[in-house]
């Protein structure tokens, strides 16, 4: 019998992919590289089928609850978040990612502040250096096929593409204008106003929603693709989206209820006692006890019972966005420092038996922060830091960069 070979280096391979059981590797390093180069998507589909079969055969390994007990047998067989079809092929995303990472990216240029627009400039700077968007924008893949509801309608994705190409072609130390986006900011959200400072995370969410709407329209719209999971296979979803699993376990009969929610950002609380990202993640994913004050209605035993609820990551996003909840009261701000490193291991916060059951680590490339007058968000200034290759950090400003 022939010895299996590693798909990355062709060396003899003994370590099997724990998810699909069909591919072997010579090392953890090669396994991680193959996961990033496309096995992730192949594995997801195979894993769902395999896990359903394991449930039917009763052979699925038991997950361990917080108190050390194995999870009970009664389980709601809810569909895992896997689409019936893809609107933008995941292989196309991977190809763009390779092309984007191979680009000789210029140092970030400045985006001129035209009056309380620093929040937008900070968001746009980070977007322009989010792979694989540099390849997507520089190849003008959207504008070549843009479908507008009206010939003269403003298109957020066309505006982003034009801004990106202006930024990538700018001489070092120069600055560009984002007026093509700022003057239409109310089209991203009716609560936005030209010339007013807004919350940068809110703008980022609205920009991504606009990109999603445009890409979905190009694929035929919701009418043609009514299945929600299929709608979540555009390029913007491949980049930013993941899935959370909420799991509730009945304390009486052991019934397990699961639900899955698409998410593009982890919004973390930072109460007293939390001083780093890992502690904030641990707090937000800590099991919740449902007791006398908030009993849960079990679908299996039809009783209001004590239960335990967990919220964990089922599928990790390719680009992880973390937002710290610093708002407090009316325009108040929590000022304390929160430590974070240049790498983050999300593995401890993944759901038991998750579709993504490989190690999940991230490298930091963009940071946005608010600085200014005391503990208030009503005043001050948004700045960002962007990491370029190889490991150079820049702080773009309205006049250039530093």
Tokens 């929040």 sit on residue? 119
Global pTM value: 0.82
Distance, CA of 355 to CA of 353 (rounded, Å): 7
**One of 30, 118, 126, 298 is an active-site residue; which one?**
118
DSSP 252-302: TT--EEEEEEEES-EEE---TT--BHHHHHHHHTS-EEE-TTS-EE-TTT-
Domain ranges of the chain: 1-61
Answer yes or no: is pLDDT of 400 > 60. no
Over residues 311-332, the mean pLDDT reads: 90
118 in catalytic set? yes
Tokens standing for residue 277? 């990202």
CA dihedral 335, 271, 197, 131 (to 10 degrees): 100
331-360 pLDDT tens trace: 778 889 999 999 999 999 999 888 887 889
CA–CA distance, 392 with 402 (Å, rounded to integer): 11
**Is 191 in the active site?**
no
Digit-coded pLDDT (tens) for 105-161: 888 899 998 888 999 999 999 999 999 999 999 999 999 989 888 888 999 999 999
At 29, is the pLDDT very low, low, confident or very high (cuts 50, 70, 90)? Answer: confident
What's the mean per-residue pLDDT of the chain?
Answer: 85
**CA–CA separation, 140 and 161 (whole Å):** 7
pLDDT in tens, 244-259: 999 999 999 999 999 9
């Amino acid at each position: 019998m022939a010895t299996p070979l590693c798909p990355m280096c062709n060396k003899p391979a003994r370590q099997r992919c724990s998810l699909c059981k069909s591919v072997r590797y010579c090392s953890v390093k090669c396994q991680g590289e193959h996961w990033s180069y496309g096995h992730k998507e192949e594995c997801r589909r195979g894993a769902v089928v395999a896990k359903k079969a394991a449930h039917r055969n009763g052979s699925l390994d038991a997950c361990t609850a917080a108190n050390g007990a194995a999870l009970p047998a009664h389980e709601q067989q809810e569909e895992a978040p896997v689409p019936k079809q893809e609107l933008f092929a995941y292989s196309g995303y991977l190809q763009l990612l390779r092309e984007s990472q191979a680009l000789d990216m210029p140092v970030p240029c400045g985006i001129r502040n035209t009056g309380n627009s620093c929040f937008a400039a900070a968001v746009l700077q980070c977007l322009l250096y989010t792979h694989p968007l540099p390849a997507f924008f520089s190849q003008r893949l959207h504008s070549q096929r843009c479908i507008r509801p009206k010939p003269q309608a403003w298109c957020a994705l066309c505006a982003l593409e034009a801004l990106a190409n202006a930024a990538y072609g700018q001489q070092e130390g120069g600055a560009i204008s984002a007026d093509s986006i700022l003057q239409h900011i109310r089209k991203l959200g009716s609560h936005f106003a030209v010339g007013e400072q807004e919350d940068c995370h809110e703008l980022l969410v609205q920009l991504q929603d606009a990109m999603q709407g445009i890409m979905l329209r190009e694929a035929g719209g919701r009418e043609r693709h009514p299945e929600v999971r299929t709608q979540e296979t555009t390029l913007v979803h491949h980049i930013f989206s993941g899935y959370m699993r909420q799991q509730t376990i009945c304390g009486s009969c052991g019934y397990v209820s699961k639900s899955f929610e698409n998410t593009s950002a982890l919004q973390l609380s930072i109460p007293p006692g939390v001083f780093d990202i890992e502690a904030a993640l641990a707090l937000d994913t800590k099991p919740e006890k449902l007791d006398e004050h908030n009993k849960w209605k079990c679908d299996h035993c039809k009783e209001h019972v004590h239960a335990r609820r967990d919220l964990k990551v089922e599928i990790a996003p390719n680009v992880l966005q973390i937002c710290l909840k610093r708002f407090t009261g009316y325009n108040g701000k929590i000022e304390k420092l929160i430590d974070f490193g240049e790498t983050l291991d999300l593995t401890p916060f993944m759901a038991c038996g998750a579709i993504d059951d490989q190690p999940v680590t991230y490298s930091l490339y963009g940071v946005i922060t608010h600085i200014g007058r005391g503990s208030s968000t009503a005043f001050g200034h948004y700045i960002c830091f962007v990491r370029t290759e190889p490991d150079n950090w820049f702080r773009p400003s309205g006049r250039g960069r530093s």
